[in-house]
A and B are shown apart, each in its own frame.
Chain A
Amino acid sequence: MSEIEPFVGIDLGTTNSVVGTVIDGVPRVIASRSGQILTPSVVAVSKNGKRLVGNIAKRQAITNAENTVFAAKRLIGRRWGAKEVEDARKVLPYQLVPGPDGHDVRVVLGGRTFAIPEVSAMVLAELKADAEAFFGRRVSKAVITVPAYFNDGQRQATKDAGRIAGLDVLRIINEPTSAALAYGFGKQMEKKVAVFDLGGGTFDISILDIGKSVYDVVAVGGDTYLGGEDFDRRIMDWLTFSFAKENQGVDLRQDKMGLQRLRDAAEKAKIELSATQGANIHLPFLAAAGEGKAALHLAKQLSREKLEELTKDLVDRCVQVTERALRDAGVRPAQIGEVLLVGGMTRMPRVQQAVKQFFGREPSRGVHPEEVVALGAAIQAHALLYPQKDREVLLLDVTPQNLGIMVVGGYFATIIPKNTTVPTSQTHVFTTVQDQQSSVRIAVLQGASDKAIENELLGEFILDGIRPGKRGEVEIEVAFDISADGIVGVSARDVDTGQRQSITVTATSGLTEDELRRILDENLDELLERKQSGELERLRDRAEAMISEIETLVPQVKDALTRSRFGKDALQKADAVVARARAAIAAQDLQQMTAVEEQLDRTIQLFKGLVGGAPIPGGEA
């Protein structure tokens, strides 16, 4: 692996992210420095102002909910005021604010505001660092995946995130296509494949026609706001309401820390129910009952059947979207030669059953639902960088939604219809409607509705400096272009003179070029700073975060612990570990810090287990 420049494929997920590469022709995932395959897409700023990413950020989410950002992917590239953003604001423990021009969404983290691509960039940078640790050298070339149904704004924002993280983004590819690529890699295949991808936050269905190692996407469909998070939310709502009913209307949603514990418990129960018929949800000391009263505990049993009832409409929605995509492709379910299940949510038996019922065939079990997307991205990165001798591949993807413009009366005129193979371009001629008109304003949108207002506004383009003339005399040809990344470009020229027309873009949901440059500069400073202190600082940050977590956990578990001999012992040991860690930090002793880190982690796990309701070893007094 030394003579060629290393490269990665990154599956930037809503809940978890994965990084992969290809070594000696074999695609494989890269484990994080702490040995995990999945890196939670969570970013936090700790109480002492340090940035935390991944597992370490997820671990402290309960005690630091307001400064922990998860599911940023649900917000990326979205417009301030969009329905999805409004919904998210109601349920997220962290704070969202509009960007300076009022169009995009920012998140408040540790008293500073960040654009969503900046948050995603932190996750990407973490994965990049993991890959660099794996290769032992710098890594910059990457292919990043997005849901097939992502629109231009969401793709552009993801690409920006890659740039901020210091990556050279070779291509943005679609998650289902990527999964199909990993599935078909190295096989001689000649068939139609459906990829059913239900992840943490998004649902995608893609129909591909694979043959002669050309992966030709025929149709895609999806919902960028339907995924595991919604299943979790149903469980949370159920718990909240039944808790309120049993405890005189105590509303759990008021307490951010409690909400985070509830979220964790819901996710855990959901995962458990994929393997079992029932799950116990046990959260002691969840809420205060009021002055002078004992704290309230939550103890519920959730059956698989109940979970299926709570989430029936979500599964139904997936099937409806699938039906529509097949209709668009002009393909009957029986013509599909293989069905791939991708994304953690497809582990749910009810989802598998619905897929099986719809296609009338057993879905393929040949792929790992969480790793396959990153592997496909790595294969594509490899193919885009180096000639392949016997394992050639060519991906041909499509645009997921109609691209068009607003015309008189507020209607939407399609210029490039959905399911058109990309890259593609189309021109449209505009004429002036007034004498001496000097500028034309074009609203470019993406979506399925006839009414412009119901579609997503990608941006407003103002053509100015138009040659003076009578109305209808001057014709401007506007070229709409969709790149292989699925990103839209617009250019214009005067039909008669052939001169290029200047275009100003306004009202986009993304970062402006200036802003992006500013962020890149800032990150460079930070990068230099970090390089100087390097490993030591990283270890120190981690140790400090763990100490503060232990300190927050101690008061919660103290009561339970002091009641047994084992508990008292554990408490003493924890004190000793914390003291040792503090000493190592003060002495800047790298070795000691590494040694103590594991003990800190074990202490946290033990205490968290107690908060989570596990029985206390050694028995209760």
Chain B
Amino acid sequence: MPVDRYQGFVFNVADLSEDVDIDAERRREILFLHAHLSDFTHWEVLSLPWNATSEAAREAYRDRVKVFHPDRYPGKRLGTYRARLEQIFRRLTEARDALANETTRAAYATRTAPADEFARAEAKRLDDEERSKERRARLGRTNPMLARVGRVHELVQRGRQQMAEGRFSQALNDFATALAIDPTLVDAKALAQEARRRSNAEKAKDLWDKAHAAEAVNNLELAQEMAAAAAEADPSNPRYPVFAARLALRRGATDAARSLAEAAVRVAPGHGPAREVLGEVLAAQGDKAGARRELERALELDPGLETARERLKRLRWSFLG
């Protein structure tokens, strides 16, 4: 047995002679490791060299827990050793968890590096930093983006032009670029807002058309997705969420239908069709009272809604209601 295995550790005689069912060598292993739980590194508790890989840590963990897990001593009297084994197990798990993840392992390696290792890594880091600084400076001299700084005015000008021609998203792009270069441009900010609003409305209209096209070929899922996207792009128009909710309802996705219908009502509380569709959703979810309430509101707001009238009538006649 190598003499220096326990690095000159002095064992307590009382611990070594406690009346438990563990052999003498195993006791030494347990006592030694337990005494070093806080000063050993994650690698040391796993009996691995510094900077060993994640895979090695996982392997070593398995070997070590088979020795140190209290469950591995069935029917044995463990006395004070049980608590020691439990603490060792927790420490081994902590070490494994930290080393099994490559990111935390690398960070830990830097922190626990031996002195000469640390010096070498530090030199390399400084060297790298120097080089990257140089590279950045070189890029800055030739980068066309940065060269554009003087052209803010031109950008705003071109944006206005594009607005006038109805190309809202391109206009928005130009205004945003101008603002990125000079965030203090007040009129560009207002213009960008307007461009964004109109660009979104246009996008929503486009999605709305696509939703109808998808519906026409009976792809309800896609249609619903498009309509919901339209509602998101242009939150001011209740028509979009109403349509999306109807589609979701037809697909039987009542939960989705419900949140869409509720969104529609939130956007326009006075919009009859929004109330109507919420009523339909509630009816589908079995909330008869809620459905009746919403349908009645819909009719109050918009007495021309014949479908709502029909539905309400049917709800009132339902045998289970």
Contact = CB atoms under 8 A, between A and B. Distances in A.
Nearest to B318: A249
Nearest to A484: B71
Given A248-B319, A249-B320, A425-B90, A396 B74 contact: no
Contacts of A484: 71
Interface of A: 209, 211-214, 216, 244, 248-249, 251, 383-387, 392, 394-396, 421, 423-425, 484
A214 B90 contact: no
Interface in B59-77: 59, 62-63, 65-66, 69, 71-72, 74-75
A423 B66 contact: no
B71 A384 contact: yes
B73 to A, nearest CB: 8
Question: 8 closest Cβ contacts across the A-B interface?
Answer: A249-B319, A214-B62, A212-B62, A421-B93, A384-B74, A385-B74, A387-B74, A386-B74
A424 B94 CA distance: 9
Contact of A424 (B71, B90, B320): B90
Contacts, number: 47
Contacts of A244: 319-320
Interface string B40-76: 0000000000000000001100110110010110110
Contact of A212 (B63, B71, B75, B320): B63
B89 A423 contact: yes
Contacts of B90: 423-425
Contact of B66 (A209, A384, A386, A394): A394
Nearest to A218: B100
Nearest to B101: A330
A588 B26 CA distance: 62
Contacts of B74: 383-387
A22 to B, nearest CB: 13
Contacts of A421: 93, 97
Contacts of B97: 421
A21 to B, nearest CB: 16
A386 B86 CA distance: 19
Interface in B140-161: none
A214 B65 CA distance: 9
Given A244-B319, A423-B86, A424-B90, A394 B75 contact: no
Contacts of B75: 385-387
B93 A394 contact: no
B85 to A, nearest CB: 11
Nearest to A421: B93
A399 to B, nearest CB: 12
24 contacts: A209-B58, A211-B62, A212-B63, A212-B66, A214-B65, A216-B62, A244-B319, A249-B320, A383-B71, A384-B71, A385-B75, A386-B74, A386-B75, A387-B74, A387-B75, A394-B65, A394-B69, A396-B65, A396-B69, A423-B86, A424-B90, A424-B93, A425-B90, A484-B71
B93 A214 contact: no
Interface of B: 58-59, 62-63, 65-66, 69, 71-72, 74-75, 86, 89-90, 93, 97, 319-320
A209 B74 CA distance: 23
A421 B92 CA distance: 11
Contacts of A394: 65-66, 69, 71-72
Contacts of B71: 383-384, 394-395, 484
A244 B97 CA distance: 58
Contacts of B65: 214, 394, 396
A610 B97 CA distance: 61
Contacts of A251: 320
B136 to A, nearest CB: 34
A530 B75 CA distance: 33
Nearest to A426: B90
A318 B117 CA distance: 49
B58 to A, nearest CB: 8
Given A384-B71, A392-B66, A396-B69, 10 more contacts: A244-B319, A244-B320, A248-B319, A386-B75, A394-B65, A394-B69, A396-B93, A421-B93, A423-B86, A423-B90
Contacts of A214: 62, 65-66
A38 B23 CA distance: 44
Contacts of A385: 74-75
A421 B65 CA distance: 12
Contacts of A213: 66
B89 to A, nearest CB: 7
A457 B149 CA distance: 59
Q: Which residue among A385, A392, A395, A396 has the maximum number of chain B CB atoms within 10 Å of its CB? A: A396
B144 to A, nearest CB: 41
Query: Which interface residue of B63, B71, B89, B97 has the most chain A CB atoms within 10 A?
Result: B71
A300 B63 CA distance: 60
A313 B225 CA distance: 19
Contacts of B66: 212-214, 392, 394
B79 to A, nearest CB: 18
Nearest to A380: B71
Contacts of B62: 211-212, 214, 216
A395 B74 CA distance: 13
B93 to A, nearest CB: 5
A383 B66 CA distance: 13
A212 B90 CA distance: 20
Nearest to A248: B319
A557 B105 CA distance: 74
Nearest to A216: B62
Contacts of A392: 66, 72
A598 B167 CA distance: 88
Contacts of B89: 423
Contacts of A395: 71
A31 B100 CA distance: 44
A214 B68 CA distance: 13
A396 B86 CA distance: 13
Contacts of A248: 319
A387 B71 CA distance: 10
A425 B86 CA distance: 10
A248 B320 CA distance: 10
A385 B74 CA distance: 5
Contacts of A384: 71, 74
A213 B65 CA distance: 11
A425 B91 CA distance: 11
B320 to A, nearest CB: 7
Nearest to A382: B74
A139 B164 CA distance: 89
B107 to A, nearest CB: 17
A384 B76 CA distance: 10
Contacts of A386: 74-75
A470 B97 CA distance: 39
Q: Choose among B62, B75, B90, B97 the residue with the greatest number of A CB atoms under 10 Å from its CB.
A: B62
A213 B90 CA distance: 19
A424 B75 CA distance: 23
Nearest to B90: A424
A209 B59 CA distance: 11
A212 B62 CA distance: 7
A312 to B, nearest CB: 9
Nearest to A424: B90
B238 to A, nearest CB: 29
A374 B109 CA distance: 44
Of the listed residues B63, B74, B75, B319, the one surrounded by the most CB atoms of chain A closer than 10 A to its CB is B74
A505 to B, nearest CB: 23
B60 to A, nearest CB: 11
A215 to B, nearest CB: 10
B26 to A, nearest CB: 13
A395 to B, nearest CB: 7
B48 to A, nearest CB: 16
A565 B63 CA distance: 75
Contacts of B86: 423
A75 B210 CA distance: 49
Nearest to A423: B86
A386 B320 CA distance: 62
B104 to A, nearest CB: 13
